[in-house]
Amino acid sequence: MNEGCPICRELASVETSAAGIKVTCIRCGDFALSEVVAASNHQLTQRQVANLSGWLREHPGSTIVTGQLDRLLELQSPTIGEKADRLLLHISQLVPKPGAVFTVGSGSSDLPIPLLIGVSWAQDLDELSFLLADYLIDELKLLSNVTGGGVFKITPKGWAYIHSLKQGLIRSETAFVAMWFNKTVDPAHTAIEAGIENAGYKAVRIDRHHHNNKIDDEIIAGIRRSKFLVADFTGQRGGVYFEAGFALGTGRPVIWLCRNDELKNVHFDNRQYNFILWEDGKLAELSKALQNRIEATIGRGPLAASA
């Protein structure tokens, strides 16, 4: 059935099933909403729609359930540079041949406007035009306007930049550790750090005590610089939930940890994930289990001992 996408209102095919609804949207891609989320009538701001569409584009096939929606609605918008990076990377996937030209619009050979708005986390056509024309063409010269009209191509400088972007994503050697700052989990923190280092990555933890318990720019930047996030839910800190959601929202894998006796307290929507459970007194096992999980799901890092 063709009707408006429940997130962005663009033309979409919407199928109802017992579990909720499945949507194929030109802007958001393929996703599903649980019954409760589909029935809820959220009034989303334009910024929230932009973030949700962008997140869905980076997590195709996701099913959004209740608690997750609340966290996704709190996602911070990417910076203008990050939006432009996403747009350029996506265009390079759609038009992979160097030198090939492309047009943007609603014709059958055009790159569709709603798709480009979705992948760049832009709010509307005005913002997309700004990213394309003012930012990528005029300012950075990563794209060129071939005819002066609406025919574009990626410049040599653009291809070099795309290459470095991909290398940067691959090369990041840090893992961000999100966990409770409390003496009772300090020994576990040491074990977590060892597991990360044995897998070949550098562990980064930002002391929230110096940050008035706020999710501030330094934490956001720390997550953005890391390849993946290790989240320990012992103590049920709101910051840990936020940081895990933020990492997922920016396409970074999350490894889920919790002390055995606390799993029952973890928010229901998060219990679907495959947690590594640990116990005080068995912390060497935590290190080993974490190292194995990192190597199995992300791969050995650049700092790994060559054994």
Site of interaction with Zn ion (CB under 5 A):
5, 7-8, 25, 27-28
Six token digits for residue 37: 């989320």
- Is 208:269 a contact under the CB 8 Å cutoff? no
CB of 54 to Zn ion, least distance (A): 11
Q: What are 145's strand-pairing partners?
A: 152
Cβ nearer to Zn ion, comparing 8 with 196: 8
Q: How far is CA 24 from CA 20, 36, 38, 56, 117, in A?
A: 14, 19, 14, 11, 16
Helix (H, G, I), strand (E, B) or coil at 6: coil
- Give the β-pairing of 2-4 and 276-278: unpaired
Phi first, then psi: what are they for 224, rounded to 5°? -65, -30
Helix (H, G, I), strand (E, B) or coil at 268: helix
CA-nearest of 35, 38, 31 to 6 is: 38
CB of 71 to Zn ion, least distance (A): 19
Cβ nearer to Zn ion, comparing 7 with 33: 7
Burial of residue 226 (CB within 10 Å: 0-12, 13-18, 19+) is buried
Cβ nearer to Zn ion, comparing 114 with 200: 114
CB of 38 to Zn ion, least distance (A): 13
CB of 290 to Zn ion, least distance (A): 37
Cβ nearer to Zn ion, comparing 28 with 87: 28
CB of 8 to Zn ion, least distance (A): 3
Cβ nearer to Zn ion, comparing 8 with 104: 8
Give kind and range of the element (H or E) at residue 203. strand 202-204
